């Protein structure tokens, strides 16, 4: 039984901040001298990111006007985990509700009481009773809805949520699964001058994406059939992408070797995904790749013989939002869905995402048009 991704909705916080503004904040927060500040601004320029969104206005402000970080030299005392989780609890729900409502407005035939499963995804905040229960109450979902939380898996977690949704739909042809990925990455800024932290601070933003998966296509417009999944691991990259909870928030490790690890595994990942399917790489002209960073996108293009135009949706999301962890690939898929026409019916779509492990996830979808 085939399952279908029928609609995707997104939401972002109100603070849209230009990349040069964030670079200035970081240089001041890290108390960099002029030479290090210039190098930091150069790093921010080459990311391919124009703006990012944050629940915190501080990244566009000067010390003295901060609302979350202390208005002191060096931002001391630096906010701890409890303070950051309080911000997550305040902002995650309204952002998630906005994304879910944006998704469901696209499907008039789907009522709140007809949704059977809710899957929430996040690696940037946890609490209980959690976001899943609050979403049930805020959206008016059935109290007996089947709830699943996918936590702390990082940028590839939306793939695991889609796999769960597919399994639910295969078990029950009446299943309607609402997936909500909400990430507030910017609340976890780490005041650390090491290269891994500088790169992480230059890439991540906040956002939420919601998707509706069911056993039948949408009644009108395009849907994406979930045709196949495949997961690969590159153990040599185990230490190159990691996510740990420390005393001052969640600490991201993102080394410069990650593109090399992806380069090592991406062709085999693609071959393993397609090996038992009536589709070859040369047949695929539509792509939805998680924009973990510009270098990652360029590496995949080189290895798979793609052009930047093939990767245009990923570059667009990277430029406008940065990397929003698990929500990002759904933002890319939303852009792809919006571009489809009836002439695209039957076309295959190849999608990738990457995360700690080093985990490489691949998914093949097929365009369906009602």
Give me the residue label for tokens 């959690």: 130
CA 202 to CA 8: how far, in whole Å? 27
CB 116 within 8 A of CB 145: yes
In angstroms, rounded to a whole number, what is the distance separating the alpha carbons of residues 99 and 248? Answer: 29
Return d(Cα 51, Cα 322) in angstroms, integer: 7
How many residues are listed for the chain in this entry?
370
Other Cβ atoms closer than 10 A to 142: 13
Active-site residue flag, 123: no
- Residue 244 has φ and ψ, to the nearest 5°, of -125, 150
Cβ proximity of 7 and 218 under 8 Å: yes
Cα 86 to Cα 31: distance, rounded to the nearest angstrom: 27
**DSSP per-residue string spanning 254-281:** E-TTHHHHHHHHHHHHHHHHHTTSS--G
Among candidate residues 103, 123, 155, 181, the one labeled active-site is 155
Q: Quick one: which of 155, 156, 157, 175 has its CA closest to 166?
A: 175
| Residues with catalytic roles | 155
């Amino acid at each position: 039984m085939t399952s279908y991704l029928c609609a995707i909705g997104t939401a972002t916080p109100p603070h849209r901040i230009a990349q040069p503004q964030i670079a200035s904040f970081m240089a001041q927060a890290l108390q960099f001298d002029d030479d290090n500040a210039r190098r930091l601004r150069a790093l921010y320029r080459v990311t391919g990111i124009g703006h990012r969104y944050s629940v915190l206005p501080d990244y566009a402000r000067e010390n003295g006007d901060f609302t979350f970080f202390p208005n002191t030299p060096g931002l001391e005392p630096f906010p701890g985990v409890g303070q950051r989780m309080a911000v997550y609890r305040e902002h995650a729900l309204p952002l998630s509700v906005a994304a879910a409502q944006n998704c469901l407005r696209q499907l008039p035939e789907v009522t709140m009481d007809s949704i059977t499963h809710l899957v929430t995804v996040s690696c940037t905040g946890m609490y209980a009773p959690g976001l899943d229960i609050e979403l049930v109450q805020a959206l008016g979902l059935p109290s007996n809805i089947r709830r699943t939380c996918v936590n702390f898996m990082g940028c590839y977690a939306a793939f695991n949520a889609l796999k769960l949704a597919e399994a639910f739909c295969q078990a029950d042809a009446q299943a309607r699964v609402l997936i909500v990925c909400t990430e507030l990455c910017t609340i976890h800024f780490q005041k650390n001058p090491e290269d891994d932290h500088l790169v992480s601070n230059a890439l991540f933003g906040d956002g939420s994406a919601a998707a509706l998966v069911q056993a039948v296509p949408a009644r009108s417009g395009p849907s994406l059939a979930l045709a196949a999944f495949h997961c690969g691991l590159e153990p040599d990259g185990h230490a190159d992408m990691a996510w740990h909870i420390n005393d001052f928030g969640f600490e991201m490790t993102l080394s410069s070797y990650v593109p090399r690890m992806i380069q090592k595994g991406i062709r085999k990942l693609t071959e393993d995904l397609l090996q038992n399917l009536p589709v070859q790489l040369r047949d695929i002209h539509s792509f939805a790749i998680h924009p973990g960073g510009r270098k990652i996108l360029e590496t995949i293009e080189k290895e798979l013989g793609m052009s930047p135009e093939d990767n245009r949706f990923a570059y667009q999301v990277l430029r406008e939002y940065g990397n929003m962890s698990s929500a990002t690939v759904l933002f890319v898929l939303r852009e792809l869905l919006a571009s489809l026409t009836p002439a695209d019916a039957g076309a295959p779509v190849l999608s990738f995402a990457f995360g700690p492990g080093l985990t490489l996830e691949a998914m093949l979808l097929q365009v369906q048009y009602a």
